[in-house]
Copies of this chain bind each other. A is one copy, B any other.
Amino acid sequence: MPKTSSAQGRDFLSTGYSPPAEGAKAFFDKSHINFPLGFLDLHSVPEYFWIPAAYRPSSWSVDFSEMASGQLARAEALACSGCRHACHVMLYADTKTQLFGRIPIKHIILMQMRFDGLLGFPGGLVNPSKETLEAGLSRELSEELGVAIPISAENHMESCHAPASSPSSSHLITHFYVKKMEEEQIMEVERAAASTAADHGLEVLGMVRVPLYTMKGGGGLASFLSHSFIGNARSQLVDSLLRFNLVSPKELHKALTHSLKIHTHTAEDLQAALVLTEVKRKQF
């Protein structure tokens, strides 16, 4: 049984960050001092390490939109001794395979369905006082994917603040990595994740590939982006698609616009399911 679990933070500016007022003030005013709780045992309170804004009491709402993007230098991030740290990685490979023999798939990107029902990248909490960020991430990957994947500092993309889960808990910093692999290595990861990985069926409910193409009817990337993601995982994906030239800016913009449309339709569908449940639950 692994000692830590997955968590990802949010980019302040891009996600309407609304942390608990007290905790946030403590962090920004006194970031040189340690936090009282130190490194939490998340086995006992796994749902506390990252509570999406939708779950937080409205009393926590603080507008930080005037702040910087929340990104910080790696050294600066590691200097915060009272902070907790989470590392996640986007593993990807090029492929020549075509869907239906005619739609180029181009790239395979791995994400996962997490224990909390949200989509995210593989990874989890790391304790920099005991291991390097990269060694900790590799350890998490072994647990979640069932294979050893060496991650180096060169794979590091960005570090940023995530909101504290409650005023009394320590602050979370998320570190994001990207690593390119061979197609056969990605397939080996998928096989191991569904068979030998310790976290299979527990912290990880399944690995999924991200469709980067757009079909005639609009299906593909747009539909995928309309799902629910943990923390800033969707932004990390979108950023990486642009940064590594995996999808053109034009295509991506079109997909995101379409994605909002699909998302609106999903709300109607969800509302209908709720109404249907009202009716059905009287029958069973």
A270: chain B residues within 8 A (beta carbon): 225-226, 234, 256, 259-260, 263
Of A26-34, A81-89, A132-140, A191-199, the segment with at least 4 beta carbons within 8 Å of chain B is A191-199
- In angstroms, Cα B99 to Cα A1, docked, is 10
A256: chain B residues within 8 A (beta carbon): 270, 273-274, 277
Q: In the complex, which residues 170-191 of chain A have their Cβ closer than 8 Å to any Cβ of chain B?
A: 187, 190-191
Tally chain A residues at the interface, Cβ within 8 Å. Answer: 98
Partner of A253, one of B216, B238, B263, B274: B274
Of A70-78, A123-131, A148-156, A241-249, the segment with at least 4 beta carbons within 8 Å of chain B is A241-249
- In angstroms, Cα B202 to Cα A277, docked, is 34
Does A257 sit at the interface, judged by CB under 8 A?
A: yes
With contacts A191-B195, A209-B206, A266-B228 taken as known, whether A277 is within 8 angstroms of B219 at the C-beta atoms is no
- One digit per residue, 1 when the CB lies within 8 angstroms of any chain B CB and 0 when it does not, for chain A 36-49 equals 00000001011110
Does A280 sit at the interface, judged by CB under 8 A?
A: yes
With contacts A267-B263, A268-B15 taken as known, whether A99 is within 8 angstroms of B202 at the C-beta atoms is yes
A257: chain B residues within 8 A (beta carbon): 274
Partner of A234, one of B48, B51, B52, B269: B269
A207: chain B residues within 8 A (beta carbon): 194, 206
The answer on a CB contact under 8 Å between A97 and B272 is no
The answer on a CB contact under 8 Å between A281 and B253 is yes
Does A229 sit at the interface, judged by CB under 8 A?
A: yes
Chain A residues proximal to chain B, CB less than 8 Å:
1, 5, 11, 13-16, 43, 45-48, 51-55, 95, 97, 99-101, 105, 108, 113, 115-119, 187, 190-191, 193-195, 200-203, 205-211, 215-229, 234-235, 238-239, 242-243, 245, 249, 252-253, 256-278, 280-281, 284
A-B contact pairs, 5 of them (CB 8 A): A13-B276, A99-B203, A117-B224, A249-B284, A253-B274
